[in-house]
A and B are shown apart, each in its own frame.
Chain A
Amino acid sequence: MGAIYRREIGAFFTSSIAYVFLSVFYIITGFFFFLVNLGNSSADLSFVCLTMFIISILLIPLLTMRLFSEEKKQRTEQGLLTAPVPLTSIVLGKYFAALTVYAIAASIMFLYGVMLSLFGTVAWLTLLSNFIALLFVGAAFIAVGLFISALTENQVVAAIGGVASLLAFLLVHFAASLVGNYASLGWLQSILNFLSFYSRYYEFTCGIFNLSSVLFFVSVAVLFNFFTVRVFEKRRWS
């Protein structure tokens, strides 16, 4: 796992992907930080955290699109799959490499906190819980993106598929509120609410650290990494 992790980290930073990802992430969140916090003299970072969640949906597929599709296209996966390493460590090596780059992006939040602390008091605990939540949401999103990358050999398809699936996770929230208009569909609403990444994440931005939500995000991550392993397992046996 270590070898693959190190190679992927290297590949992120020798290609332009990590730089594009990080700079776009910083520019957009920085813009809202400037507008909402610095412009309005507010120490409440919840809105910035929310924008981080939204742009993660658009940017995380950029991180994951290449990871397996490129291997398939360049036929380098043959080298990995015939090496004496279990499939799980191949998948996890790539997974944690993407998660690392994502964590670097998300940790910009602490810089914003430091900047705000120059002007007033910052709720550091809320900020920390937001960071943790963002990390776990990202962990789930990356697992989904990685899974989609394993399904195709075209990076563009992997990217668009990734954005579409992550948007679907977001839309679950709006579907839930729509369904809420009909009393008879209450059961559906509670299922959709359970699956809603947005409302689970929203709690964190309000300063509520909900352990069951963390568990939910971790479960999604584990599930999709498991699916990715199955994709390779299946291909080998078909």
Chain B
Amino acid sequence: MIEVRNLTKHYGDKKAVNDISFTVEDGEILGFLGPNGAGKSTTMNMLTGYISSTSGQVLINGTDILEDPIKAKACIGYLPEIPPLYLDMTVKSYLNFVFDLKKCKLPRRSHLRDVLKLCKIDDVENRLIKNLSKGYKQRVGLAQALIGNPPVLILDEPTVGLDPKQMVEIRTLIKKLGKNHTVILSSHILSEIQMVCDRVIIINHGVVAANDTATRLSEKVSTDHRIIVRMEGERVAILQAIRALDGIKYVRADMEREPGIWEYEIEAEPGRDIRRDINRLARENEWNILMLKTMEMTLEDIFLKITMGEHIELGKGAAK
């Protein structure tokens, strides 16, 4: 379990991270999302004890990272943004070194074998790290984080440089690891976070902009009052009929999707569910509804909105 309380980091006058608090429970995967320079890596570096915080506290399984760094660090597997690889070593000797460095008590041979297999790097174990491709290097970096089977994993952009197939593999692996580890994962790739993480923290300008599950986040900002309908019928008549409904803010039809079938974008007043009204209209006029969907926001939209400084009502407990 990771507890972060009022964590702040100043670089001179610049506040890189400003008063961040959150907790990650055991067996939870937390996604860390934010534009470049938002303070993601700084926060992760503070969590792992690489740099100190200006104020605030980090507890790893109840141990303060600054008070008892050795004990706290022993619980963490860390993959930094740039994996800390010694290029002149072979994969195997490097992992052996990490094994010794972490003072691992597990049976060496079988543990290394497991990690090599898990990260799918057993085919390159005897090659020099400098001769490996970016994707392989990234996976060796992940392997060094997994050595010693630490209960907490902190991964800074683990899928950077991987091809799509490897990305899926690593995501599946992280998901699997998340069952019995506490994982924090940062990424630019929103679909990745949505796929892997139980919970998302969006961080912007060094503060937590949102903290909730991915689905709840998108639910909160998605709305019943904005819908898209694809309807068969005469365009002008439909537009007029919809406009005549109660509480419609606007309706628009600027796309003819199929011959004679237009797509209507409708926004009603907030809190008003107009789907039934649309259905009734269609029945009465014998128009055919071919598609109806609410305009749900993806994490992408939320992310853009939040980081562009737009204010979104995220409801209780979500916005900070």
- Count CB-based A-B contacts (< 8 Å): 71
Chain A residues within an 8 Å CB radius of B87:
74
Chain B residues within an 8 Å CB radius of A80:
84, 101
Map CB proximity to B onto A1-43 as digits: 1 under 8 Å, 0 otherwise.
0111011001100110000000000000000000000000000
CB contact list, A52-95 vs B, under 8 A: 74-86
Map CB proximity to A onto B70-99 as digits: 1 under 8 Å, 0 otherwise.
110110101010101111110001000110
Min distance, Cβ B33 to any Cβ of chain A, angstroms? 22
Map CB proximity to A onto B13-49 as digits: 1 under 8 Å, 0 otherwise.
0000000000000000000000000000000010011
A83 to B98, CA, bound (A): 9
Chain B residues within an 8 Å CB radius of A6:
97, 100
Does chain A have a CB within 8 A of B102?
yes
A82 to B154, CA, bound (A): 11
Closest chain A residue to B51, Cβ basis: A236
Does chain A have a CB within 8 A of B182?
no
A84-B73, A236-B51 are contacts. A3–B78 as well, Cβ < 8 Å? no
* Residue from B49, B74, B76, B101 in contact with A3 in the complex, judged by beta carbons closer than 8 Å: B101
Does chain A have a CB within 8 A of B250?
no
Does chain B have a CB within 8 A of A237?
yes
Contact A79 B80 (CB under 8 A): yes
Min distance, Cβ A67 to any Cβ of chain B, angstroms? 13
Contact A236 B52 (CB under 8 A): yes
Contact A82 B86 (CB under 8 A): no
A78 to B52, CA, bound (A): 13
Count residues of chain B with CB under 8 A from any CB of chain A: 29
A3-B101, A74-B87 are contacts. A82–B71 as well, Cβ < 8 Å? no
A4 to B78, CA, bound (A): 18
Min distance, Cβ B212 to any Cβ of chain A, angstroms? 29
Chain A interface: which size bin? 20 to 34
A236 to B48, CA, bound (A): 12
A6 to B93, CA, bound (A): 11
Chain A residues within an 8 Å CB radius of B78:
78-79, 82
Contact A86 B97 (CB under 8 A): no
Chain B residues within an 8 Å CB radius of A10:
89, 93
Contact A75 B84 (CB under 8 A): yes
A6 to B76, CA, bound (A): 23
A11-B88, A75-B84, A76-B85 are contacts. A236–B50 as well, Cβ < 8 Å? yes
CB contact list, A136-153 vs B, under 8 A: none
Contact B88 A86 (CB under 8 A): no
Closest chain A residue to B49, Cβ basis: A82
A74 to B98, CA, bound (A): 16
Contact A85 B80 (CB under 8 A): no
* Residue from A14, A82, A85, A236 in contact with B76 in the complex, judged by beta carbons closer than 8 Å: A82
Chain A residues within an 8 Å CB radius of B102:
83-84
Does chain A have a CB within 8 A of B165?
no
A11 to B103, CA, bound (A): 20
Chain A residues within an 8 Å CB radius of B71:
84
A15 to B69, CA, bound (A): 33
Min distance, Cβ A183 to any Cβ of chain B, angstroms? 51
A80 to B82, CA, bound (A): 13
Min distance, Cβ B50 to any Cβ of chain A, angstroms? 5
Does chain A have a CB within 8 A of B8?
no
A77 to B83, CA, bound (A): 10
* Residue from B48, B88, B97, B103 in contact with A82 in the complex, judged by beta carbons closer than 8 Å: B48
Closest chain B residue to A14, Cβ basis: B88
CB contact list, A145-175 vs B, under 8 A: none
A120 to B73, CA, bound (A): 60
A155 to B69, CA, bound (A): 30
A2 to B104, CA, bound (A): 13
In the assembled complex, 24 residue pairs joining A and B whose CB atoms fall closer than 8 Å, in A order, are A3-B100, A4-B101, A6-B100, A7-B89, A10-B89, A10-B93, A11-B86, A11-B89, A14-B88, A74-B85, A74-B86, A74-B87, A76-B84, A77-B84, A78-B84, A79-B78, A79-B84, A79-B144, A82-B49, A82-B50, A82-B76, A84-B70, A84-B102, A237-B52
19 new A-B pairs (CB below 8 Å) besides A78-B45, A84-B71, A86-B70?
A: A3-B100, A4-B101, A7-B86, A11-B88, A14-B88, A74-B84, A76-B85, A78-B50, A79-B80, A81-B50, A82-B48, A82-B50, A83-B73, A83-B98, A83-B102, A84-B70, A85-B103, A236-B50, A236-B52
Residue positions of B touching A, CB distance < 8 A? 45, 48-52, 69-71, 73-74, 76, 78, 80, 82, 84-89, 93, 97-98, 100-103, 144
